[in-house]
């Protein structure tokens, strides 16, 4: 009997349960919420609450292995020896920054808002035609598209180029106004060598982001902690970066030069191309003590584009009906865009949970676009050599613009246990002065067109001399509230806020409420459900104001003081699912959206130039779904594939027509791989396949955009070789760390993409749209040195 009782006691002791409790924190002592606490052998799992606390009932054994894991942190394991009763653990997790072949692979943190975090390192070593790594990374995201590899501009979910807001360190930045083609555009204001964080939202974004209808891009510049540098050179330009880090003072400097002459020579139009683009930026921070911080960002940029065309030969049509367009040119184009941008920030750190910032900024641009180009053209049928049309055209422009925008912004950030409150007040002063004159003449078969029988008119004539001063006041307040259900089975993140703005030019005031909710459900901690809704405005700026009136064959552009903001109601539902396959992490995202548009200002797009008609006279809608699979397709590298479907519609003057950005489908692939057995050889592949956009004859009503361009298809591939690698990458002294040699093949398949058309008329008065093809296949070599 004694033996039986002893045996039962031993069995009972072996099977008895114990309770494991504790708290999970990060390196700064902040709670790590939604951290997974698991015991795989016992199939038990739980998550930490908003305080980082957890509780888990387990069965005792000789050893109990408990694992703590969270996206973005290195997993940690603890082994408990014969645990009894109540056990308590205090766990610290460290960020997971794993270096492989010079690329930092950071497992993405859980997305609990409509803004996703991107890593610019995914694109810095990728093949590039524009040299703007950040924008090219944005262009490859779900719901985003571009139809010119030379441009840094992009469309987001049916919006125009002008509907995307861009911020650098909490200050909204601007693009040049007169740019009409990708080859003029040059370097964007974002220097990828200086970027630390990229936050991007394709819709439903927070109230702190300004009055744009499509997207928000938020850039945070890097503060170096030690002396660091990099040099890069290629056949299309180069860059240099130097960062100096210290306890109180940091200083970053970035210089970029771009020369695309070799790439532009792949155009159908031959001649002397002389594009030169330079940019210098500096970013300084000073922290005299733990209560005060000062920051300064300065940028000087100049884009010069000189072009002397000689001839052009383009074939277009089908194999059964192929036409040839031959042109001999005389004339030149000279463009100059010079911009200056600066910000100064003074920040008071009241406590660990509260800060006040005062930010002053100024933007200045001086732009000129001048060209006199005459072309004598022949349009012929290639099969029969029949001459279908002979003519001369003349294009002339003298466009000058000067713009100044100054702003003063007061921000307050306050954090509590469950809330993060942000509020800001901004005052902007805007001054723009324009003097433009353009005309286009065509003489087909000896007749100037159009003609009335009594007079000879130009195809197009524009005169504009405008100047305006305006003041814009903006205010926002928002709160991010994190909470759990009563039994802590579901975890929620609610962001809600409101934005107010007033513009003195049209005396309009707008109010924009916005909200988003994310849910981590109890039934699967790897799933995140996200919902968002809000009223968004596209506050008019200089381009949207220009209303046109034609008098005596000349079109005059004046500023419409009765213009109103365009409106868009966003409705978004999304799901993120994190999983592992083959031991590697993946994330699948699906988003459905619907936009209700009103007060639209109709516009047309030619290359990258957006021309508005200056009146609120349309309504519309945009609906679509976006899918993205992101993860380690190959161990140690980041890759992704996206697929988007979209439908747009606009009610304009009694007709239902698609928006000019009606891209019905798009596929993007970014893939990185290494040669087997080595991390010295790396291959990067970029693929884009997107539906063509609607188009029609130039200088006509939107209702005549009845045609659709062919699909945009492009494949870029790059091969990189790590010629030198310092064995100890963590060494603190300034020294050479890596040397990369790379060869890129841009437009690998040599596909002739189209993003605009030139219209000509034959002897029977039929019009033909001659495609303006983009760049062809081109090789580029790169050298990168990192210190």
Instruction: Give CA–CA dist 612/287, Å, rounded.
Output: 46
Residue 452: predicted pLDDT = 55
Rank 451-455, 490-494, 619-623, 699-703 by mean pLDDT and report only the highest: 619-623
CA dihedral (433, 174, 335, 441) positive or negative: negative
Bond preceding residue 625 cis, omega within 30 of 0:
no
pLDDT tops 90 at residue 451: no
Residue 729: predicted pLDDT = 57
Instruction: Give CA–CA dist 716/133, Å, rounded.
Output: 14
What does pLDDT average to over the chain? 87
Rank 75-79, 96-100, 218-222, 388-392 by mean pLDDT and report only the highest: 218-222
How many CB atoms within 10 Å of residue 486? Answer: 6
Averaged pLDDT, 616-644: 92
Q: Which of 646, 593, 648 is nearest to 618 (CA)?
A: 648
Instruction: Give CA–CA dist 74/32, Å, rounded.
Output: 12
Question: Which residues lie across from 442 on neighbouring strands?
Answer: 393, 449
> What H or E segment, with its residue span, contains residue 136?
helix 133-139
Q: pTM to 2 decimals? A: 0.86
Convert 99-115 to b/e letters by CB count within 10 Å (16 or more is b): eebbbebbbbebbbbbb
- Which residues, including other chains, have CB under 8 Å from residue 158's CB and lie 6 or more apart? 214, 595, 622, 624, 646, 648, 659, 661, 662, 663
Angle at 778 between CA 773 and CA 779, to 5 degrees: 170
Averaged pLDDT, 473-490: 87
pLDDT tops 80 at residue 397: yes
Contact present, 310 and 324 (Cβ < 8 Å)? no
Contact present, 165 and 145 (Cβ < 8 Å)? no
Instruction: Give CA–CA dist 194/446, Å, rounded.
Output: 57
Residue 453: predicted pLDDT = 54
Instruction: Give CA–CA dist 214/212, Å, rounded.
Output: 6
Q: Coil, strand or helix: which one is 144?
A: strand
Instruction: Give CA–CA dist 694/332, Å, rounded.
Output: 30
Residue 43: predicted pLDDT = 79
Q: Which of 128, 169, 171, 124 is nearest to 146 (CA)?
A: 128
What's the pLDDT tens digit per position in 636-681? 788 999 999 999 999 998 889 999 999 999 999 999 988 887 878 8
Residue 730: predicted pLDDT = 59
Q: Residue 97's pLDDT band (boundaries 50, 70, 90)?
A: low
Averaged pLDDT, 592-600: 96
Instruction: Give CA–CA dist 439/395, Å, rounded.
Output: 6
Count the alpha carbons within 13 Å of 203 in the hemisphere toward its beta carbon: 34
Contact present, 511 and 241 (Cβ < 8 Å)? no
Q: Coil, strand or helix: which one is 404?
A: strand
- Which residues, including other chains, have CB under 8 Å from residue 226's CB and lie 6 or more apart? 245, 732, 734
What's the pLDDT tens digit per position in 146-198? 888 888 899 999 999 999 999 999 999 988 888 888 888 889 999 999 999 99
Residue 299: predicted pLDDT = 96
Averaged pLDDT, 702-722: 87
Contact present, 624 and 600 (Cβ < 8 Å)? no
Contact present, 483 and 517 (Cβ < 8 Å)? no
What's the pLDDT tens digit per position in 106-143? 445 677 788 898 887 766 778 888 888 899 999 999 99
pLDDT tops 90 at residue 399: yes
Across the chain, which distance is largest between two alpha carbons, in Å? Answer: 126
Averaged pLDDT, 236-240: 92
Provide the Cα torsion 184, 189, 190, 192; round to 10°. Answer: 60
Q: Which of 670, 672, 611, 664 is nearest to 637 (CA)?
A: 672
pLDDT tops 60 at residue 15: no
pLDDT tops 60 at residue 449: no
- Which residues, including other chains, have CB under 8 Å from residue 189's CB and lie 6 or more apart? 166, 168, 173, 175, 279, 299, 301, 339, 341
Instruction: Give CA–CA dist 593/215, Å, rounded.
Output: 13
Contact present, 745 and 751 (Cβ < 8 Å)? no
Contact present, 379 and 417 (Cβ < 8 Å)? no
Question: What is residue 10's DSSP assignment?
Answer: H
Tell me whether residue 735 is exposed, middle or buried, using C-beta atoms within 10 angstroms of its C-beta: 0 to 12, 13 to 18, 19 or more: exposed
The number of residues in the chain equals: 787
Contact present, 464 and 410 (Cβ < 8 Å)? no
pLDDT tops 60 at residue 478: yes
Phi/psi of residue 96, each to 5°?
-100, 95
700-703: long-range contacts (C-beta < 8 A, 24 or more apart)? 701/653, 702/602, 702/603, 702/604, 702/613, 702/650, 702/652, 702/657, 702/660, 703/652, 703/653, 703/655, 703/657
Contact present, 616 and 599 (Cβ < 8 Å)? yes
Question: Which residues lie across from 713 on neighbouring strands?
Answer: 689
CA dihedral (701, 702, 707, 710) positive or negative: positive
**Concatenated DSSP letters of 418-449:** SEEEEEEEEEEEEEEEEEEEEEEEEEETTEEE
Contact present, 598 and 608 (Cβ < 8 Å)? no
């Amino acid at each position: 009997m004694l033996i039986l009782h002893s045996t039962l006691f031993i069995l009972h002791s072996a099977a008895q349960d114990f309770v494991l409790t504790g708290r999970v924190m990060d390196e700064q002592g902040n709670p790590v919420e939604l951290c997974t606490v698991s015991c795989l052998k016992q199939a038990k799992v739980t998550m930490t609450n908003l305080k980082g606390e957890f509780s888990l009932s387990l069965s005792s054994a000789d050893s109990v292995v408990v694992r703590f894991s969270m996206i973005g942190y290195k997993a940690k394991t603890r082994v408990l020896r014969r645990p009894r009763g109540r056990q308590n653990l205090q766990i610290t997790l460290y960020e997971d920054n794993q270096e492989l072949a010079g690329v930092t692979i950071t497992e993405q943190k859980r997305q609990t808002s409509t803004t996703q975090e991107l890593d610019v390192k995914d694109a810095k070593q990728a093949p590039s035609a524009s040299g703007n790594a950040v924008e090219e990374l944005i262009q490859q995201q779900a719901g985003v598209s571009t139809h010119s590899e030379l441009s840094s501009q992009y469309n987001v979910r049916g919006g125009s180029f002008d509907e995307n807001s861009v911020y650098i360190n909490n200050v909204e930045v601007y693009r040049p106004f007169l740019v009409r083609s990708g080859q003029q555009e040059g370097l964007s204001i974002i220097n990828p060598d200086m970027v630390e964080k990229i936050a991007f939202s394709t819709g439903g974004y927070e109230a702190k982001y300004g009055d744009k209808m499509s997207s928000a891009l938020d850039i945070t510049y890097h503060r170096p902690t030690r002396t660091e540098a990099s040099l890069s050179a290629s056949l299309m330009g180069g860059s240099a970066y130097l960062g100096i880090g210290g306890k109180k003072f940091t200083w970053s400097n970035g210089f970029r030069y771009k020369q695309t002459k070799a790439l532009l020579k792949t155009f159908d139009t031959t001649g002397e191309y002389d594009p030169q683009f330079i940019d210098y930026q500096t970013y300084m921070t000073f922290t005299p003590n733990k209560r005060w911080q000062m920051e300064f960002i300065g940028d000087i940029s100049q884009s010069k584009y000189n072009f002397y065309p000689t001839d052009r030969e383009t074939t277009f049509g089908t194999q059964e009906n192929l036409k040839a367009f031959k042109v001999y040119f005389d004339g030149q184009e000279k463009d100059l865009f010079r911009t200056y941008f600066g910000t100064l920030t003074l920040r008071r750190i009241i406590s660990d949970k509260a800060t006040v910032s005062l930010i002053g900024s100024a933007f200045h641009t001086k732009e000129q676009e001048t060209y006199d180009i005459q072309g004598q053209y022949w349009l012929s049928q290639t099969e029969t050599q029949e001459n279908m049309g002979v003519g001369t055209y003349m294009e002339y422009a003298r466009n000058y613009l000067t713009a100044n925008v100054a702003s003063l912004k007061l921000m307050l950030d306050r954090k509590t246990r469950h809330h993060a409150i942000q509020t800001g007040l901004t005052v902007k002063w805007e001054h723009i002065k324009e003097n433009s004159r353009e005309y286009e003449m065509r003489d087909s078969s000896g007749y100037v067109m159009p003609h009335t029988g009594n007079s000879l008119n130009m195809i197009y004539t524009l005169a504009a001399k405008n100047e305006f001063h305006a003041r814009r006041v903006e205010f926002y307040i928002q709160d991010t509230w994190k909470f759990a259900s009563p039994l802590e089975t579901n975890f929620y993140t609610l962001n809600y806020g409101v934005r107010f703005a007033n513009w003195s030019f049209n005396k309009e005031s707008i109010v924009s409420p916005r909200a988003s909710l994310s849910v981590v459900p109890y039934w699967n901690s790897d799933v995140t459900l996200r919902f968002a809704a809000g009223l968004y405005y596209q506050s008019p700026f200089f381009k949207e104001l220009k209303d046109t009136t034609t008098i005596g064959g000349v079109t005059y552009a004046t500023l419409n003081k009765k213009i109103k903001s365009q409106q868009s109601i966003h409705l978004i539902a999304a799901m993120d699912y994190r999983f592992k396959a083959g031991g590697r992490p993946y994330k699948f995202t699906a988003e459905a959206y619907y936009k209700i548009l009103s007060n639209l200002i109709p516009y047309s797009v030619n290359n990258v130039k957006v021309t508005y008609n200056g009146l609120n006279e349309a309504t519309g809608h945009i609906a679509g779904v976006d899918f993205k699979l992101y993860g380690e397709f190959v161990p140690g590298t980041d890759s992704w594939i996206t697929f988007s479907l979209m439908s747009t519609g606009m009610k304009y003057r009694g007709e239902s027509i698609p928006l000019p950005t009606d891209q019905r489908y798009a596929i993007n692939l970014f893939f990185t791989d290494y040669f087997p057995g080595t991390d010295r050889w790396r291959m990067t592949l970029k693929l884009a396949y997107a539906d063509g956009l609607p188009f029609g004859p130039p200088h006509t009503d939107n209702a005549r955009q009845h045609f659709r361009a062919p699909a945009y298809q492009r494949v870029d591939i790059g091969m990189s070789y790590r010629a030198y690698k310092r064995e100890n990458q963590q060494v603190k002294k300034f020294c050479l760390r890596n040397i990369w040699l790379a060869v890129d093949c841009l437009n690998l398949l040599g596909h002739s993409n189209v993003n605009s058309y030139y219209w000509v008329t034959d002897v029977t008065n039929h019009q033909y749209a001659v495609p303006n093809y983009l760049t062809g296949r081109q090789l580029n070599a790169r050298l990168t040195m990192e210190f």
